[in-house]
A and B are shown apart, each in its own frame.
Chain A
Amino acid sequence: MAAHIEVHDAHGHIHHPALQHHFDNMEQQKEAVSIGMWFFLVQEIMFFGGMFLVYLLFRSKFPMAFAVGSNHLNMWLGLLNTIVLIVSSLTMAMAVWSAQTSKRNLQIIFIIATMFLGSVFLGVKAYEYYDKYESNLIPFSNTFRWEPEGEHLIEERKMIDEHAAPNSVEREMVANNYYQFGNKVRIFFWIYFAMTGLHALHMIIGLGIMLWLLYGAIRNRFSSEYYAPVEISGLYWHFVDIVWIFLFPLLYLLGRHFLE
């Protein structure tokens, strides 16, 4: 039988206004943007992954310095931010739900709620950064000082000495060379700023996306027919949340048990 090219009539029905010309139908368009977002997230996984590899390596190289550095972070603020982000993930999921069920007002409410929580997160983060600046814990600065002040100093030094593994290079450095050790703590703080900074940048981009969604929601663009933009923005938001789910224990909690 001969092969041939036939007319494929894709124009039998009325197009949704959001359908782009190179797609046949809304379903195809939705699949494309969905898969596109997922592969973008794969890209994001590898992007953050490089940073996590840096963390993994230095954490395993300088466990004590990391524990010390971590104990300089404010766990309660980290916890607060974790909770804020998880709630914002819930509101984001609800925003998608409201789009899927064509509830315009609920969409607007949930998007605004998500934006509010995202801003709270960034505000807390900014306060933490400021606090680190005040405590001379900015790794780029020449005034970087990792030693804690006051009565904590003795306690922490004792903790370091006790936990340094015997026969390790680590112990010598801890015992004899606080300059070297300071460099390691500095690396912890550099990694802390790099990872949380990258994460915060993603949050800011996320807020921009939310603003755009809000505009669309106010214009009543999204409904059960067409909610792909809300859906994929949600995917992005949840991804950023997941990154934080890992960052919180890895940065804020890793040295807590040494204080026990």
Chain B
Amino acid sequence: MQENLVINNTQNLPVYPKLNYLNNGHTVSSWLLTKDHKRIAILYLLSVSVFFMLGGIYAGLIRLELLTPKGDLVESGTYNKLFTHHGILMIFFFLIPSIPAVLGNFLIPIMIGAKDLAFPRINLLSWYLYIAGASFTLWALIQGGVDTGWTFYTPYSTTFSNTYVIATGLGIFINGFSSILTGLNFIVTIHTMRAPGMTWFRLPLFVWAHYATSLVMVLGTPVLAITLLLLVVERVGRVGIFDPALGGDPILFQHLFWFYSHPAVYIMVLPGMGVVSELIANFSRKRIFGYTFIAFSSIAIAVFGFLVWGHHMFASGQSPYAGLVFSFLSMVVAVPSAIKVFNWTATLYKGSISYDTPMLYGLFFIGLFLIGGLTGLFLGAMGLDVHLTDTYFVVAHFHYVMVGGAVLAYLGGLHYWWPKMFGRMYSEFWSKLSAMIIFIGFNLTFFPQFILGYMGMPRRYHAYPEEFQVFNIFSTAGASVLAVGLFLPLFYLTYSLIRGKAAGDNPWLLPGLEWRTTSPPPTENFIETPIVTWEAYEFGEESGLYDEETHHKSEVKPVSLFDQN
């Protein structure tokens, strides 16, 4: 059987493959007109990083303004624009595309043993739509910005706001189709392109999570698209389907908006859960506990996520009966999330855990998502939510889920697959340091906001009573620490591209299909079509990973990559 092994982890010095997707063409058009899912993923990586940075700058300005109780840095109108821009950029142009379009795009075809996504040209089109939508939005922001909040609530957005609502709305509308097409591509790819032997229950959980995410994208995003279209036309044409003065109904806008935007939360966090499932199982070197439960809990989250949108509207004039139903269903949607957390914890039990950088992020995710999720239950309980609506408690809650969950999972995934994507290893010291700084900075930023919110500090104001200042100082201090932590990867990851040691095909010694091709992979992913004969996360002798001569099985990382210097 030995001769059949494609991977060869007995070498002590990993080599960088001569032919791979990165050096297959160096012209600008070989990148901008590429149909290779891996190159498109890199395009996405660059563009979402830009938007993450932009959104981060807005966040920094918000925190700076909130350092003091008086509105002394910016005036209220500017502040409204700051948090609106922060929200729009982070949600629509970073969080939603980040994991699916970067990691999912890169890895799904490789994980299932395909040469590419089912529709490579549509994949490229997705990226262009993303860029077009982003340009539209950026243009609006540069022209003068938007001050409606990322939620565009009517009738403020349709009638009263004097800002660039139309251009921003169109930008997000266009960007929505990028998301829809990505989801469509993933669904079809997972259905039709799996390598021989790659049955549904041999798929890595990352793929399951992306399947569920794609369903949400395809089913939810069009509703946002039509809603924004209606909003834009209403603003242009002054016909009032959302404006109560003209007979319209502003709550209808909220229903339509949250029908997408609540499930959109799952677009952001479900792929993160997929990444974390990979991290926990692989760095515990154990088959994941409750594979089918985790797989189906992703689908359950995608489905139940559509039934709970009304919990954003408890204080909006929605009927108490509807509030009750939405409140109850919000409790129900916590169940599949909890199933995941329990299964991850059970996977850790008696695993041979190694604390590599990606695993640190994985563990952080579990802790922070737990806090974010449980505080979500507070907010989902209708009675308590009336007290907490529109306070910093809400802000802290969704940042624990979005940053503590989705962003950390994204960073974890990026660190985990970085050697696969670029064939280079980054500095272990700096990456661990950065992970720790991010963790500390994040908690320092957002934990005080729970207290602030509970004390009653409302969100979306640029000034606040003086007794809230202490916690705001903590929060701003934390934001600075967080910023340092988030900037570090920019440097050491870029440095690794230039000076990093060749990572080798399988630096973490893992059984997944993506580790059985070269790093970086060739353009067609696999020289020969793989036939899958192993289960997911199979760390036993059967996985073919460990041969008799070297007995690598018990070692965490036989190929030392950094400590050689």
Point out residues on A near B: beta carbons under 8 Å: 1-8, 10, 20-22, 24, 28, 31-32, 35-36, 39-40, 42-44, 46-51, 53-54, 57-58, 61-62, 139-140, 180, 183-184, 186-187, 190-191, 194
Contact = CB atoms under 8 A, between A and B. Distances in A.
Nearest to B538: A3
Given A47-B222, A184-B247, A140 B239 contact: yes
Given A22-B114, A47-B226, A190-B241, A28 B531 contact: no
Contacts of A2: 1, 541-542, 544
B193 A32 contact: yes
Contacts of A191: 241
B188 A47 contact: no
Contact of A8 (B117, B191, B237, B528): B528
A212 B541 CA distance: 55
Given A4-B533, A5-B526, A36-B188, 8 more contacts: A6-B528, A6-B531, A8-B531, A43-B180, A46-B219, A53-B256, A186-B240, A187-B248
Nearest to A49: B223
Nearest to B184: A39
B69 interface: no
B114 A50 contact: no
> When A and B form their complex, which 3 residue pairs have the shortest distance between CB atoms, in order from nearest?
A50-B226, A8-B529, A47-B222
A103 to B, nearest CB: 29
A32 B192 contact: yes
B551 to A, nearest CB: 15
B115 interface: yes
B225 interface: yes
B239 A187 contact: yes
Nearest to B517: A5
A194 B236 CA distance: 13
B534 interface: yes
Contacts of B498: none
A153 B544 CA distance: 85
B347 to A, nearest CB: 21
A8 B527 CA distance: 10
29 contacts: A2-B542, A4-B544, A5-B516, A8-B196, A22-B114, A22-B115, A22-B117, A22-B193, A32-B118, A32-B189, A32-B193, A36-B118, A36-B119, A36-B185, A36-B188, A39-B188, A42-B219, A43-B218, A47-B225, A50-B230, A50-B256, A58-B249, A62-B247, A140-B239, A180-B247, A183-B246, A190-B237, A190-B239, A194-B230
Given A53-B256, A54-B252, A187-B248, A40 B184 contact: yes
B335 interface: no
Contacts of A10: 529
Nearest to B224: A50
B249 A1 contact: no
Contact of B238 (A5, A8, A31, A140): A140
The dominant DSSP class at the A interface is helix
Q: Is the interface on chain B under 10, 10 to 19, 20 to 34, or 35 or more residues? A: 35 or more
Contacts of A190: 237, 239, 241
B230 A54 contact: yes
B528 A7 contact: yes
Contact of A50 (B5, B191, B227, B236): B227
A112 to B, nearest CB: 28
B1 A4 contact: yes
A256 B402 CA distance: 52
Contacts of B114: 22
Nearest to B534: A3
B222 A46 contact: yes
B187 interface: yes
Nearest to A185: B247
B251 to A, nearest CB: 9
Contact of A4 (B4, B192, B237): B4
B542 A1 contact: yes
Taking each of B120, B188, B240, B246, which has the highest tally of chain A beta carbons within 10 Å of its own beta carbon?
Answer: B188
A199 B353 CA distance: 57
A165 to B, nearest CB: 18
Nearest to A57: B252
B386 interface: no
Given A54-B241, A139-B237, A180-B247, A32 B119 contact: yes
B46 interface: no
Contacts of A61: 249
Contact of A6 (B4, B226, B249): B4
Given A31-B192, A57-B249, A186-B239, A3 B543 contact: yes
B6 interface: yes
Contacts of A31: 191-192
A181 to B, nearest CB: 9
A46 B226 CA distance: 9
